[in-house]
Structures are given as structure tokens and as C-alpha cells.
């Protein structure tokens, strides 16, 4: 049998009667990620999903890297399948892990017997395989506590599997199983991380970016599209709704008190995001707001900006500090792009003394002279939709 990729499932195995829908969504996401890498068979048995190449033309290295970024998978291994027979298992260990066994100094064997009809217990099979390998490789010494190499043997429904050094997966739930949301994507560090975190909870995303040309450049827009591209290995294909925001900001500068400019601007963003959500069937908005980080992210300010939408606002980084957010940005590969020095619409007409804790009714009064519906409608009608696909 050929080498395959063995995926261990996480919290979805705890689901009840709807567990099959989670598994089906995961398999569909896996097939999409494998597109262009060859013909694979993907199936789920006994709380594990198998990615099996159908011919030698399959790009196993590419598939391995893709599977590391599939939400719903908590662990993965490149494994060799063989018959459920002790001698066949031992042979597979020697053939598949021979070089690793020859280079290691200490080892142990761990067996998982998911098929309880297999005649040997897990301990018995580990002792048999470990004893034979110990005799075959003079360089090896058994160390059950801190081995340099752990040989994993799994006895499952249709075959036995041999592998070493499983890696952690992306975790979470399959993208799309928990519906769709609209994520506000700026060129900063926080919003890409927030998008990643909510996608990890099984939410498919539509991205919205507010573009204020000529105050913000085409390079700034390209930067945001690149951030979206960097998110696609985790989130899948994305549509970025680029909203022309210049007219609204200029109208606010003419008609709103400077101290409330940012809050009124954020309220317009929420209104437009909700309009986009209604068009694409999304049930929530996602922001990168972090409590206390800037003036518009106090509790009072977030209450004011969120009051204009009837949709729930998901703020996955709200309780994180900057170092935690940066660490995640580095992990998912967006940090270096986020810190490129291109301006963002949120920095246009920034007030010198922004209001931190607006009073009830104060912001509504500042909006009284604005034709809110017309401004929102013009912005939505002018949206440019950019499709961002997996590289």
C-alpha cells in the first residue's frame, strides 16, 4: 500500500446526530485544498480522515503542507498502510522508517488498537515490534520516557498504519459549518488575525475593505488584497468587497465635530458591512477591535459603533494584548505584510483629540445633518468585488 496522510479529528468527534455533516464539510474542504495536487481519495473512519494518493503523480509534499492549514484537524501524520498482521507491520516499520531508525539513538513503540478484533493487545504489539527493532538496529536503545524517535502503530478498520512524529493540525472546526460572516479587513495586524480566529470556529468569510483614494494609495489596496491571499490557505477562497469610502469621509469632515469623526466613520462602516452581509447571506460581522487599544475601542465607543447594526459583532481579539496578536500574525504569515508602511483609511482625517467615552445621543446628534441612507447606498453601489483564490 502507498504512503498516505492520516488526519486526526478534534472536537467534531464529540458531535451527536449531526456529526456526519461536520465530516462531510471537512472532506469537501480537503478536496478543495488538494485541487491541483493530483488525484486523492478522502474518506473518514473511526474518528480519522484518510488522504490517499491514487497514483504516483500526486504531490504528497504539497498535500502535506495544505493539510496543516485545514481547520477541523488536530493532528496529522504521513503514514504507511499495511496489512493487519504483526509481520507485515514490522516490515512496514523497517521499510518506511528504516532511515529514521538507523539514525536514532533511543526509541519506543506506541500502539493504538482501534480495531478491537485484532488478536494482540496494544501492549503486546508494542513489545513485539519494539523487541524486533531493538535486535535489528544495534544503535537503538529503548527509552519509554524521552525517546528520540517514537514509532506509532495504529490498528484501524481496514488496515494498520505505521508513522513517526505526528504534527499538530490547525484545530477548530471545518470552515463553513457555522455559516458565513463579513469581516472588516484593514491593512493592520489585528483584522487578519481576527479573520483567522473566526474562520477557525468554522465560519466562512466575506471580506470588506474601505478604500479612500486618493488619500490612500493603490499600493495600500494591493497590500490588503495580499493579506487576503495570505489568509486563503486557512480560510479558503475569499471575496474582498472594496468599498469606495472617500465621499463619506469628506462628508464627515465637513459636517461632524472633529472629536467624533472616528466614531461616526466606524458607524458608517458597520452600516455598509451589514448591507453587504444581507446581500451575501452572512449572519454576523467580524472586527479586529481590541479593548482599550485605540480611542474607538473603549467599551463606550464600541457600544456606539455597534448600535447601528442588528447583526452580532464578533471580536475574537478583543481580550488579547498586542504581543499575543503579533505572535499569531507571525504564525499565519500575515505580519510582514501588515507592517508595510502604506496608509489606511482609518488614519485619514484622524482627530487630534478623539472622544473616548461618548455620551448617549451625542453621536446621533452629530449625524443629524447627514443623508445616511444615500451615503451608504452610493458606497454599496460602488463596491468592487475582487476574487482571491488559493495560490
Overall average pLDDT of the 312-318 stretch: 97
Kind plus residue range of the DSSP H or E element containing 342: none
**Which of 104, 136, 170 is the last residue before a domain boundary?**
170
What 3-state DSSP class applies to 220? Answer: helix
| Whether the predicted pLDDT of 349 surpasses 90 | no
Determine the structural domain holding residue 333 and report its residue range: 180-388
Whole-model pTM: value is 0.92
What pLDDT sits at residue 222? Answer: 95
How many helices and strands (H and E) does the chain possess? 14, 15
| Mean of pLDDT over the chain | 94
Is residue 232 in some structural domain? yes
* Residues 32 and 98 placed together within one structural domain of the fold: yes
User: Which CATH number belongs to the domain containing residue 296 in this structure?
Assistant: 3.40.50.620
Would you say residue 37 lies in a domain? yes
Q: Do 145 and 211 belong together in one domain?
A: no
Residue 341 pLDDT level (bands cut at 50, 70, 90): confident
Share of residues in the chain with pLDDT > 90 (%): 85
- Residues 144-168 have pLDDT tens digits of 999 999 999 999 988 999 999 899 9
The better pLDDT of the pair 17, 195 is held by 195
Euclidean distance between CA atoms 69 and 169, whole angstroms: 7
Q: Distance between CA atoms of 278 and 310, rounded to whole angstroms?
A: 11
Asked whether residue 151 falls in the same domain as residue 227, the answer is: no
Among the three residues 136, 170, 204, which one is the final residue of a domain in this structure?
Answer: 170
Please determine, for residue 1, whether its predicted confidence score (pLDDT) is greater than 70: no
Residue 180 vs residues 46, 47, 183, 197, 318: alpha-carbon distances, Å: 29, 26, 10, 14, 20
Instruction: Using CA atoms of 220, 225, 231, 235 in order, give the dihedral in degrees to the nearest 10.
Output: 140
The model's pLDDT over 103-115, given as tens digits with 9 standing for 90+, comes to 999 999 999 999 9
73 is a domain residue = yes
For 279-383, strand residue ranges (E) read: 285-286, 313-314
Task: Look at residues 170, 204, 239 and tell me which one is the last residue of a structural domain.
Answer: 170
Model confidence at 352, pLDDT cuts 50, 70, 90, reads confident
Amino acid at each position: 500500500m502507498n504512503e498516505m496522510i492520516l488526519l486526526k479529528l478534534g472536537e467534531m468527534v464529540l458531535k451527536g446526530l449531526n456529526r456526519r455533516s461536520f465530516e462531510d464539510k471537512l472532506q469537501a474542504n480537503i478536496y478543495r485544498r488538494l485541487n491541483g495536487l493530483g488525484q486523492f481519495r478522502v474518506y473518514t473512519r473511526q474518528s480519522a480522515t484518510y488522504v490517499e494518493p491514487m497514483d504516483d503523480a500526486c504531490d504528497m509534499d504539497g498535500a502535506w503542507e495544505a493539510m496543516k492549514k485545514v481547520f477541523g484537524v488536530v493532528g496529522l501524520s504521513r503514514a504507511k498502510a499495511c496489512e493487519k498482521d504483526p509481520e507485515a507491520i514490522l516490515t512496514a516499520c523497517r521499510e518506511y522508517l528504516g532511515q529514521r531508525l538507523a539514525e536514532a539513538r533511543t526509541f519506543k513503540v506506541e500502539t493504538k488498537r482501534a480495531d478491537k478484533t485484532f488478536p494482540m493487545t496494544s501492549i503486546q504489539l508494542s513489545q513485539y515490534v519494539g523487541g524486533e527493532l531493538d535486535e535489528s538496529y544495534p544503535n537503538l536503545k529503548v527509552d519509554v520516557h524521552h525517546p528520540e524517535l517514537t514509532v506509532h502503530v495504529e490498528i484501524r478498520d481496514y488496515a494498520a498504519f505505521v508513522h513517526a512524529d505526528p504534527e499538530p493540525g490547525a484545530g477548530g472546526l471545518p470552515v463553513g459549518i457555522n455559516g458565513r460572516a463579513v469581516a472588516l479587513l484593514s491593512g493592520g495586524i489585528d483584522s487578519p488575525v481576527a479573520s483567522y480566529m473566526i474562520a477557525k470556529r468554522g465560519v466562512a468569510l466575506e471580506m470588506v475593505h474601505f478604500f479612500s483614494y486618493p488619500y490612500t494609495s493603490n499600493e495600500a489596496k494591493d497590500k490588503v488584497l495580499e493579506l487576503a491571499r495570505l489568509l486563503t490557505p486557512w480560510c479558503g477562497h475569499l471575496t474582498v468587497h472594496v468599498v469606495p469610502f472617500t465621499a463619506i469621509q469628506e462628508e464627515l469632515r465637513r459636517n461632524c465635530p472633529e472629536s467624533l469623526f472616528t466614531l461616526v466613520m466606524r458607524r458608517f462602516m458597520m452600516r455598509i458591512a451589514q448591507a453587504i452581509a444581507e446581500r451575501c447571506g452572512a449572519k454576523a460581522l467580524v472586527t479586529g477591535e481590541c479593548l482599550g487599544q485605540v480611542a474607538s475601542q473603549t467599551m463606550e465607543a464600541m457600544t456606539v459603533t455597534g448600535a447601528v447594526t442588528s447583526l452580532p459583532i464578533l471580536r475574537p481579539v478583543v481580550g488579547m494584548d498586542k504581543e499575543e496578536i503579533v505572535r499569531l500574525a507571525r504564525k499565519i504569515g500575515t505580519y510582514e505584510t501588515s507592517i508595510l508602511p502604506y496608509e489606511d483609511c482609518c488614519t485619514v482625517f484622524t482627530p487630534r483629540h478623539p472622544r473616548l467615552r461618548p455620551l448617549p445621543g451625542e453621536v446621533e446628534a452629530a449625524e443629524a445633518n447627514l443623508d445616511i441612507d444615500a451615503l451608504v447606498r452610493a458606497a454599496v453601489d460602488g463596491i468592487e468585488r475582487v476574487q482571491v483564490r488559493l495560490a
